[in-house]
């Protein structure tokens, strides 16, 4: 075991308290993999090994002394890295430019949350300078090689973060993603790249590329691992002006689902037939999972993508480094300097015109995006050798963004999923895209896709394990409500649920501790259910799921004598559900023996049930 690289978060946490698999062993594996001189093209700075060992030993001792601590620290024993545009207190933030470096006194919000959850920071990773690029070649610290082929680019701008995870040096890493900077390197290194909805994760303490578009991204070996990290990072942050109280959509994708793809004539692979073949292979996997394939017009997405580097958002990049550009521009990478130097070409008028164009596109696309569970595109349309990018840095970079540049401009969520390899041994995969707030729904589908493809884990040499597919189902911002009578499917008040995007989860039964009555004088007819542990029975009921934002207005419609309380189900679960005040049972007809409201309706005459 001592020679193994790090694996998944799930495996690490599962064996956290077992001998030889705790935080100390995880750190030793990492340090052995890094060696005495960590690859300088991947790691810009690393935590002192003695400090890392001390942190691991303290955590291991704490876990041994408190059996309940493991449940409180979802990331205990895990190791992570952050892209070097994310602040860590006491460590320089270079943003890939040594002359620009500064040392913050406070860590970024994301680092604080990860450490509070038990994760141990290993160091900071290389990037395309000022997070400007999708290629991973624009750094004075060197060019990180692809984890599978040293002649191939790693992708950027989160290049070092991707390679560190793929090589098994850390369990996960943070990058940033403005135009694809988390998804492209994930795709090229056989990783999951989760780009959250804008504002879902705090950007406080992250040096901006385009402040209005930036997202912290997660690079991990599996969708389950990425989702675990997102669960820790997700929080409204009053200190971040871009933070949003964003409600996440319902969490599951059914056995049969719809996915969209660009029309064949709008697909672009820049002559790379291996990439085209892999995309068709991955679409077939989705069909095997029960997906219905829809072809859509991709042009609105391409129109939005063109605005990123051909529109005024270049000026937002300049806004972040304006003084440094003017006073020490000679220290900026030549390619980055050329790109950002175009900022004066764009006026305030151009910005407002572009914003208006985006508003129109978002409005046009909204109904389309609601007609399927995910838009599916190649994560990268092709792959380049390092020498090809160095010879032509602009066109190659633009090509890599064909399927990524529009996502943040249109306020979408995205998840890059590894699906296997091309004929030349380079990874390939797809990206699932959905509206803001669809993060958990995309993850549910992405987890199924990764499990079906079953690629190995990064470049660690570890095979996919069926255990990785046992990811906990993500819940979303929802409330489950048990209904008993008039709100049942097909009954008069069911519309109060469906018009609030409620969906039925299951028809089930209560525990044998409830009595049911047909209340007198109610219109429409309603039952009243009360708990009675001495003379009750199991009753048929339905469990519905409502968005959290709709729950209040639903409950406001409930009038006396009915209300919402806690109801015990036959399998031992306790859920929120309809109960009745005892005073209303006077004059009511007991129907407990019939087993439920539907049975009662079937038992009475039409005259009794108008």
Q: Which domains can be identified in the chain, with CATH numbers?
A: 9-469 (3.90.1300.10), 478-608 (3.10.490.10)
72 labelled catalytic: no
- Active site residue: 12, 83, 158, 511, which one? 83
Q: What are phi and psi of 328, to 5 degrees?
A: -135, 40
pLDDT of the residue at 496: 96
Residue 220 region, left (φ>0) first, then alpha (ψ -120 to 50), else beta? beta
Residue 607 has pLDDT above 60, yes or no: no
Q: Is 202 a catalytic residue?
A: no
CB-based contact 585:530 (threshold 8 Å): yes
DSSP string, 421-472: E-TTS-EEEEEEEEETT-HHHHHHHHHHHHHHH---BTTTTBPP-GGGG-PP
User: One of 157, 158, 161, 438 is an active-site residue; which one?
Assistant: 157
Kind of pairing between the strands at 120-125 and 43-46: antiparallel
Taking the C-alpha atoms of residue 80 and residue 76, their distance in angstroms, rounded to an integer, is: 11
Using H for helix, E for strand and C for coil, what is the string for 290-324?
CEEEEEECCHHHHHHHHHHHHCCHHHHHHHHHHHH
The pair of three-digit structure tokens given for residue 517, joined into one six-digit string: 């009555």
pLDDT beyond 70 at 606: no
Residue 244 Cα distances to 54, 108, 177, 407, angstroms: 37, 17, 17, 17
With both helix axes pointing from N to C terminus, report the angle between 223-233 and 109-116 in degrees, rounded to the nearest 10: 110
Look up residue 54 and give its two tokens.
Answer: 């001390």
CA distance 592 to 595: 6
Quickly state the pLDDT bin for 474 (edges 50, 70, 90): low
Q: Name the pairing type of β-strands 574-580 and 478-483.
A: parallel
Report pLDDT digits (tens) over 143-156.
999 999 999 999 99
What angle in degrees, to the nearest 10, is found between the helix axes of 273-288 and 439-453? 100
Tens-place pLDDT, residues 423-451:
999 999 999 999 999 999 999 999 999 99
Is 157 catalytic? The answer is yes
Q: Which two tokens stand for residue 120?
A: 């141990």
- Pairing, β 527-531 against β 514-518: antiparallel
Q: Choose, from 158, 181, 197, 399, the residue flagged as catalytic.
A: 181
Q: Where are the beta strands (DSSP E) in 168-290?
A: 172-177, 192-195, 215-220, 257-262
Please say if the pLDDT value at position 3 is more than 50.
no
SS3 assignment for 494-546:
CHHHHCCCCEEEEEEEECCCEEEEECCCCCCCCEEEEECCCCCECCEEEEEEE
Q: What is the pLDDT of residues 46-98, one digit of tens each?
A: 999 999 999 999 999 999 999 889 889 999 999 999 999 999 999 999 999 99
């Amino acid at each position: 075991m001592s020679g193994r690289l790090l694996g998944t978060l799930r495996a690490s946490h599962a064996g956290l308290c077992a001998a030889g698999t705790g935080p100390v062993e995880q750190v030793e594996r990492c340090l052995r993999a890094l060696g005495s001189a960590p690859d300088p093209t991947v790691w810009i700075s690393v935590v002192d090994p003695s400090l890392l060992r001390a942190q691991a030993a303290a955590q291991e001792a704490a876990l041994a002394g408190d059996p309940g601590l493991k449940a409180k620290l979802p990331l205990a024993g895990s190791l992570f890295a952050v892209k070097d545009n994310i602040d860590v207190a006491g460590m320089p933030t270079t943003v890939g430019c040594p002359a620009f470096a500064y040392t913050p006194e406070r860590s970024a919000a994301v680092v604080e949350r990860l450490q509070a959850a038990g994760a141990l920071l290993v160091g900071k990773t290389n990037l395309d300078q000022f997070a400007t690029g999708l290629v991973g070649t624009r750094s004075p610290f060197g060019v990180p090689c692809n984890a599978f082929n040293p002649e191939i680019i790693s992708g950027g701008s989160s290049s070092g973060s991707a390679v560190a995870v793929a090589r098994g040096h850390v369990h996960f890493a943070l990058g940033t993603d403005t135009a694809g900077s988390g998804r492209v390197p994930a795709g090229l290194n056989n990783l999951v790249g989760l780009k959250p909805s804008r504002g879902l994760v705090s950007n406080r303490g992250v040096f901006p590329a385009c402040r209005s578009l930036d997202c912290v991204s997660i690079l991990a070996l599996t969708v389950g691992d990425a989702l675990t990290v997102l669960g820790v990072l997700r929080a409204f942050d009053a200190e971040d002006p871009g933070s949003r109280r964003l409600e996440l959509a319902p969490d599951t994708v059914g056995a049969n689902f719809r996915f969209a793809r660009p029309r064949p004539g709008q697909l672009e692979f820049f002559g790379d037939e291996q990439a085209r073949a892999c995309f068709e292979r991955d679409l077939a996997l989705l069909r095997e999972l029960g997906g219905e394939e829809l072809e859509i017009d991709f042009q609105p997405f391409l129109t939005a993508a063109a605005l990123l580097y051909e529109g005024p958002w270049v000026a937002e990049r300049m806004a972040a480094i304006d003084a440094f550009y003017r006073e020490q521009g000679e220290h900026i990478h030549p390619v980055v300097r050329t790109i950002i130097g175009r900022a004066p070409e764009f006026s305030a008028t151009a910005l407002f015109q572009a914003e208006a164009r985006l508003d129109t596109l978002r409005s046009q696309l909204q109904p389309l995006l609601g007609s399927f569970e995910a838009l599916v595109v190649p994560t990268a349309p092709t792959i380049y050798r390092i020498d090809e990018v160095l010879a032509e840095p602009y066109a190659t970079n633009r090509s890599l963004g064909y399927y990524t540049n529009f996502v943040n401009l249109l306020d979408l969520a995205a998840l890059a999923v590894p699906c296997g390899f091309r004929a030349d041994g380079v990874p390939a995969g797809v990206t699932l895209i959905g509206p803001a707030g669809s993060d958990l729904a995309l993850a549910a589908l992405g987890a199924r896709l990764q499990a079906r493809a079953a690629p190995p884990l990064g470049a660690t040499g570890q095979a996919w394990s069926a255990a990785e597919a046992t990811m906990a189902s993500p819940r979303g911002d929802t409330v489950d409500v048990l209904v008993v009578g008039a709100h049942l499917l097909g009954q008069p008040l069911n519309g109060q649920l469906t018009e609030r995007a409620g969906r039925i989860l299951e028809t089930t039964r209560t525990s044998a501790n409830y009595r049911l009555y047909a209340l007198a004088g109610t219109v429409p007819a309603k039952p009243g259910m009360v708990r009675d542990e001495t003379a009750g029975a199991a009753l048929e009921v339905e469990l519905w799921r409502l968005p959290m934002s709709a729950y209040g207005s639903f409950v406001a419609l409930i009038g006396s004598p009915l209300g919402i309380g806690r109801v015990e189900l036959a399998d031992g679960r306790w859920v929120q559900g309809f109960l009745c005040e005892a005073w209303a049972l006077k004059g009511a007809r007991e129907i407990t023996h019939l087993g439920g409201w539907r049975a009662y309706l079937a038992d009475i005459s039409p005259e009794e049930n108008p």
